Amino acid sequence: MQWKDEFYRWIVARGLRDMVEHTNVFLDQVYKAISVLVDHKLDLKKFRQFQRDGLKDKIEGLKMRYSRQCYYVMCQPPSGSTFWPGRQNVGDKIHGDSATGC
């Protein structure tokens, strides 16, 4: 019975490790996309450093570096725009959408 418990722990640990690894790869792609959208370029030196960071550092780094710019990109309609995804026009006012936080 002991080998079954060890195998179960190994399977769970491996599954969690795989989730972390795939989340890291996903966050690398998020970093590249946001860099191009906000900075209009991808600094390869910074990107390589970002790739070496751990999961917690990646999340904190994205939050610290891009949270304000992403809010602007997602929540501010272009000038003269009457429609913007994530917002509802009601009369002359535009009301935010709780899903986007705008």
Per-residue pLDDT tens over the stretch 15-25: 999 999 999 99
Per-residue pLDDT tens over the stretch 38-57: 888 999 999 999 999 999 99
Q: What is the pLDDT of residue 94?
A: 45
Return all residues near 54 (Cβ < 8 A) that are at least 6 apart. Answer: 24
Q: Residue 27: left (phi > 0), alpha (psi -120 to 50), or beta?
A: alpha
Evaluate if pTM is beyond 0.75: no
Number of Cβ within a 10 Å radius of residue 84: 16
In percent, how much of the chain has pLDDT > 90? 44
